[in-house]
């Protein structure tokens, strides 16, 4: 029985493309893997605190040597790392905000990416290396080769680098661009492409979810 950790980081509770595509993945996953379980962490409703000096200091101290503030910070990290470790697969909905990831998702990463504990650079005891992670990245504009803002997408390469090379996850990225086409008159000519991008993303999410869920049945 596999356990899926589903994290949404869009600030919008409704109308979020990353949430919608992630929901398509989760629905297909649950249909294929009815005996599995899901933990949903909504970072808009329940944001993870940013990493503090107490949280950094706590990592280098034993529990007996920590201050009250450091102990509280360590307890938060322990809870989030345990949640990470408890999952067999991951689903991350991450919209692009100002050409990078939402601060809420970065805050979560800062709490759980811990050298000597969860990373893959040595003999870390709580590594999640090799586990599958599906990353839904949505962007209001277009950032591919030949576009006016080619190279402005700092969210996708960052996520793939950290999740793959720091945590060792088997990352599958689904990108949806031009999500603002129906909201921006200047992008009216791109609405058909935007619709196609969204349709393809939902189809890719459903297909990937079914494939990954099947793998946990064997």
Q: Which DSSP string corresponds to 134-187?
A: EEEEE-SS--STTSTTTT---HHHHHHHIIIIIS--EEEEEEE--TTTTT-GGG
Residues 6+ apart with CB under 8 A from 106: none
Report, as an integer, the average pLDDT of 100-110: 98
Rounded mean pLDDT of 41-64?
96
Pair 214, 89: CB distance under 8 Å: no
Of 52, 53, 27, 54, nearest in space to 38 by CA = 27
Non-local (6+) Cβ contacts of 177 within 8 A are 138, 139, 141, 142, 143, 144, 194, 197
CATH of segment(s) 3-49+84-215:
3.40.50.360
pTM: 0.95
Give the model confidence (pLDDT) of 57-71 as tens digits.
Answer: 999 999 999 999 999
pLDDT > 70: what percent of the chain? 100
Q: How far apart are CA 64 and CA 152, in angstroms?
A: 46
Choice among 17-21, 90-94, 121-125 with the minimum mean pLDDT: 121-125
CA distance 194 to 144: 14
Flag whether pLDDT at 11 surpasses 90.
Answer: yes
150-205 tens-digit pLDDT: 999 999 999 999 999 999 999 999 999 988 889 889 888 889 888 899 999 999 99
What is the predicted pLDDT for the residue at 194? 86
What residue has token string 């990463």? 109
- Give the Cα separation of 4 and 124 in Å (integer): 22
């Amino acid at each position: 029985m596999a356990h899926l950790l589903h994290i949404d980081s869009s600030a919008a509770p409704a109308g979020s493309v990353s949430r919608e595509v992630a929901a398509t993945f989760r629905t297909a996953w649950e249909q294929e893997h009815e005996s599995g379980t899901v933990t949903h962490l909504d970072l808009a409703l329940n944001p993870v605190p940013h990493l503090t000096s107490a949280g950094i200091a706590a990592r280098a101290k034993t529990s007996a040597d920590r201050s009250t503030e450091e102990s509280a910070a360590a307890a938060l990290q322990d809870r989030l790392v345990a949640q990470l470790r408890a999952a067999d697969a991951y689903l991350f909905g991450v919209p692009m905000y100002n050409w990078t990831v939402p601060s809420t998702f970065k805050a979560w990463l800062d709490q759980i990416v811990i050298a000597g504990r969860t990373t893959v650079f040595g003999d870390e005891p709580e590594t999640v290396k090799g586990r599958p992670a599906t990353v839904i990245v949505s962007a209001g504009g277009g950032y591919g080769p030949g576009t006016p803002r080619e190279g402005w997408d700092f969210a996708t390469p960052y996520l793939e680098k950290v999740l793959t090379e720091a945590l060792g996850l088997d990352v599958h990225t689904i990108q949806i661009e031009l999500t603002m086409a129906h909201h921006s008159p200047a992008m009216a000519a791109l609405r058909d492409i935007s619709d196609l991008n969204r349709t393809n993303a939902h189809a890719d999410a459903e297909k990937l979810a079914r494939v990954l869920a099947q793998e946990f049945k064997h």
